[in-house]
Structure 1
Amino acid sequence: MDDFLAARSQMALSLGFHIIFACIGMVMPFFMAVAHYKWLRTGQQVYKNVTKAWSKGVAIFFATGAVSGTVLSFELGLLWPTFMEHAGPIFGMPFSLEGTAFFIEAIALGFFLYGWDKFNPWFHWFTGVVVGISGLASGILVVAANAWMNSPAGFDYIDGQYLHIDPIEAMFNDAWFSQALHMTLAAFVATGFAVAGVHALMVLKGRNILFHQKAFRIAAIFGTVAAVLQPLSGDISAKDVAKRQPAKLAAMEAHFHTEKSAPLIIGGIVNEEEAQVNYALKIPGLLSWMAHGDSQKAVTGLNQIPKEDHPPVAITHYSFQVMVGLGMLMMLLAFIYFIALLKKKTWLSGKWLYKLFVIAIPMGFIAIEAGWMVTEIGRQPWIIHGVMRTVDAVTPMPGIAYSFYIFTAVYISLSLIVMFLLYRQIKMVSKIYDVHDDELTIKHA
């Protein structure tokens, strides 16, 4: 493995792990706050128990997210020094603000975890809300920095120099809103379905039914509402990418030839050498409509883009298909759940519905990973779109492959530790809480 591939692989590995920890860490506090609010309003012990159980999960993911995020910040400087030398002064503002949001989140989480029976109940609840808001702000600010890489703004590039820097314009670049909206909804979808699925599994096993039913409903509502909204944000993102990064759109859709009334390609096997997609379902005009709002308008194909500027088509296309396909499945499950809530109450007690949510546990996070691959691989060969190539930004330091192997071992170990802690937490919940007279009471202190 050469150093360039090793640097890219290490960055991809770090991002792939961190994005899961970060998404859960920024969404779970909102679930926790809703359960806490319900306890304060109703006095039902079950909601207090759910809040306390979820708060321990929030603490676990906050810690792991902080560790993996810190590693990423060092990797930017160590693996891509040329990029940071020029880009750091331009898009450094969202990173500095993200640090502020992170500190607020840490302080608020400390107040929440250790504030039981010490603060005014509503102030204690408010500290939990602050954890969620600051975590969400932190995620949006990081996405704004990534959006700048896709849509560089806030500077003039003259004779190889980055001049007239405007950090505000850089942060609020043309891509930040669509990317932040899409990523935020994706985090709620993935976390909502995963958490709901875990509690659905516990219901199916007959453990602490009331506890897990209440927790399931809160998580499921968050996840299903976000799943229905997600295609709208996807449409916004598609139109934005078509305007700013036609090469990325062409790779996403495996669209090799510019044509009017361009078809949307579903599935298929990409043959980059022959510039075609075999065995695919094609819907005439739909890609033109999705990209431009006009089914007759032409969509730029890869044949009009210099070959040296082509992203890897196959992996970008397959990742995009996985993301969209899983998103559609979760949206379908969302509609089924809404029908159950509004029309078919008997479905809510059916094992089949819980089983569907169990099956959906990994779907959201697989879709997030696939979407992140589309964003990053689809931008290649640029690290700053249209300005700096990735190969020109990598460190000249040798031996990056060994660093990649070490970091792989570290992240696998970290993941195993997190899974062990979560498994122990779920088992602990099963031992501590029991059901009596439709209320959860403490069985073991």
Structure 2
Amino acid sequence: MITDLLAARSLMAMSLGFHIIFAVVGIGLPLLMVIAEWRWLRTGDEVSLTLTQRWAKGLAVLFAVGAVSGTVLSFQLGLLWPGFMAWAGPIVGLAFSIEGFAFFTEAIFLGIYLYGWRRLSPAAHLGAGFVVVLSGAASAVIVVLANGWMNTPRGFRVLDGHPTDIDPVTAMLNPSGLFQVPHMLLAAYAATGFAVAGIHAFRLLRDPDNPFHQRAFAVACAVGGVAALFLPVSGDLLAKATAEHQPSKLAAFEGQFSTESGAPFRLGGIPDLDQGRLRYAVEIPYALSLMLYLDPYATVTGLDAVPREEWPPVGVVRTAFQIMLLAGVSMTAVSLWGGWLWWRRGSLVRSRRFLQAMVVTAPLGFLAIEAGWTVTEVGRQPWIIAGVMRTAEAVTPMPGLVVPLVFFGALYLFLAAVVVWVLFHQIGASPAGKSARRNTEEAWGDALAVPVVGVAEKPE
């Protein structure tokens, strides 16, 4: 039987898992869009203009659904976890206010960008796009910093069970959040880049000479590939911070049951909670101590250092971490391969094997993000604020939470189906044939005289 606490946690997890896809695209897709427009303004390449307009349409659809799901998530935060909001509201309220400002800035300038083609100068229009890029990233930064505070709370003292001497700036600049931010931003750019590149790689396998898909593939590969190359660095720094500030979480996702000097790094394995060990794992001797502390004989804290009732769900956390690790390593490997191909051949679109690899790895970025947030949130359990407030203390006393769980599950499935249908019919459909000059004139009117370099191919 599902308890109200489990139903509340499941509902929040489902809402966050649904919303984060749109939030990630809202971070990554504006950058692709702006790069394409910048290239068009610099070179007069009409394919880049068509690409910019296509991505802008897609961003509009995804942003609208993301705004709805984000609003639902905000309401659920207050309705499902009133104990948390009452206690932590004075501390993280500033962060949520700034995030709201960043969101509205993104929405306003996205509207200006979408409806300003014939009303703004080319430089002002491109500038509006840059504001969308920056405000989308800023919104993510603030949310991640607030979440980091839940992992390593700072900026207050507890007096008679209530927070006092509150410093919201110190709370925002908490150690977990400062390391989570670069990892999340890189993950967003990598996930979006790989997903978009995979879509166009699939089309290039059928039509390798299509200039629209070639250009889109090149831009998406550049953004996603570069971000994926830096992800292991940010992940390593975040793991070191977790070992220092949240040793039980690190022990859970590393499968480290016992405090150990010269701890090995373990691949795979099945957690055995009764025996307190990881069965069938492949161990690399001393590797975990070396990675965390640059000392092969350093001591790594295990789950035995905390009471059993404070252990997070080890099986869930360990599995999610392994999925995230495998997906991230795969993306990094494909990025290194792509860099080598570009260096040797100057092109990626002529390698069918690389295109096939991009199709296969296209969803891995989003899979890694979902798994990474599972590690972050489930790995903090049983605390909603680490060491301060348990999740069970924050949940609403309202019974019957299974009903909204089923309702919102159906709602999210419906929204997902609508998004796929709209994107396929409005964004994926081939545009009517237009000359390059007509395409330019429809975008800018007489505001810009771009040299016409030829007739744009119809993207399929």
Normalising to structure 1: TM-score of the pair? 0.96
- 1:162 shift after superposition: 0.7
Which residue of structure 2 aligns with residue 22 of structure 1?
23
Which residue of structure 2 aligns with residue 275 of structure 1?
276
Deviation string for 1:121-145 (max 9, x for gaps)? Answer: 1111110111110011001111111
Q: Is the 8 A contact 2:212 2:457 kept in 1?
A: no
Distance in 1 (CA, whole Å) between partners of 2:191 and 2:107 is 23
Deviation string for 1:218-249 (max 9, x for gaps)? Answer: 01011010111000001110000000111000
Kindly, what percent of the aligned residue pairs are identical?
A: 48
Aligned to 2:381, the other structure's residue is in SS state: coil
Distance in 2 (CA, whole Å) between partners of 1:56 and 1:273 is 53
Aligned to 1:119, the other structure's residue is in SS state: coil
Deviation string for 1:301-322 (max 9, x for gaps)? Answer: 1112111110011110111011
- 1:431 shift after superposition: 5.5
RMSD (Å) for aligned C-alpha atoms:
1.8
Distance in 2 (CA, whole Å) between partners of 1:340 and 1:385 is 46
Q: Higher mean Cα deviation, 143-152 or 199-208?
A: 199-208
Residue 132 (1) aligns with residue 133 (2): yes
In structure 2, give the amino acid aligned to 1:162. P
Q: Is the 8 A contact 2:348 2:354 kept in 1?
A: yes
Distance in 1 (CA, whole Å) between partners of 2:455 and 2:175 is 50
Aligned to 2:163, the other structure's residue is in SS state: strand
Aligned to 2:283, the other structure's residue is in SS state: strand
Q: Is the 8 A contact 2:5 2:395 kept in 1?
A: yes
Q: Is the 8 A contact 2:431 2:458 kept in 1?
A: no
Q: How does 1:219-368 map to 2 (within 5 A)?
A: 219-345=220-346, 348-368=349-369
Aligned to 1:441, the other structure's residue is in SS state: coil
In structure 1, give the amino acid aligned to 2:151. N
Distance in 2 (CA, whole Å) between partners of 1:427 and 1:35 is 17
Distance in 1 (CA, whole Å) between partners of 2:433 and 2:300 is 59
Distance in 1 (CA, whole Å) between partners of 2:18 and 2:99 is 19
- 1:94 shift after superposition: 1.2
| Paired residue total | 443
Aligned to 1:343, the other structure's residue is in SS state: helix
Q: Higher mean Cα deviation, 266-275 or 327-336?
A: 266-275
Distance in 2 (CA, whole Å) between partners of 1:433 and 1:276 is 65
Q: How does 1:147-226 map to 2 (within 5 A)?
A: 147-206=148-207, 209-226=210-227
Distance in 1 (CA, whole Å) between partners of 2:296 and 2:458 is 63
Which residue of structure 1 aligns with residue 456 of structure 2?
441
Residues 338 and 308 from structure 1, CA distance in 2 versus in 1: closer, same or farther, beyond 3 angstroms?
same
Distance in 1 (CA, whole Å) between partners of 2:218 and 2:434 is 18
- 1:65 shift after superposition: 1.0
Distance in 1 (CA, whole Å) between partners of 2:398 and 2:345 is 62
In structure 1, list runs of 5 or more residues that go unmatched.
Answer: none
Which residue of structure 2 aligns with residue 390 of structure 1?
391
- 1:292 shift after superposition: 1.9
Q: Is the 8 A contact 1:208 1:434 kept in 2?
A: no
Normalising to structure 2: TM-score of the pair? 0.93
Q: Is the 8 A contact 1:269 1:279 kept in 2?
A: yes
Which residue of structure 2 aligns with residue 88 of structure 1?
89
- 1:442 shift after superposition: 7.5
Q: Is the 8 A contact 1:267 1:280 kept in 2?
A: yes
Q: How does 1:10-159 map to 2 (within 5 A)?
A: 10-159=11-160
Distance in 2 (CA, whole Å) between partners of 1:242 and 1:96 is 31
Q: Is the 8 A contact 1:116 1:124 kept in 2?
A: yes
- 1:204 shift after superposition: 1.4
- 1:439 shift after superposition: 5.0
In structure 1, give the amino acid aligned to 2:48. Y
In structure 2, give the amino acid aligned to 1:375. T
Residues 261 and 431 from structure 1, CA distance in 2 versus in 1: closer, same or farther, beyond 3 angstroms?
farther
Distance in 2 (CA, whole Å) between partners of 1:133 and 1:171 is 19
Deviation string for 1:129-169 (max 9, x for gaps)? Answer: 11110011001111111011001011001221111011111
Distance in 1 (CA, whole Å) between partners of 2:24 and 2:285 is 36
- 1:279 shift after superposition: 1.4
Deviation string for 1:62-90 (max 9, x for gaps)? Answer: 11111111111100110000000010110
Q: Is the 8 A contact 2:313 2:381 kept in 1?
A: yes
- 1:438 shift after superposition: 8.9
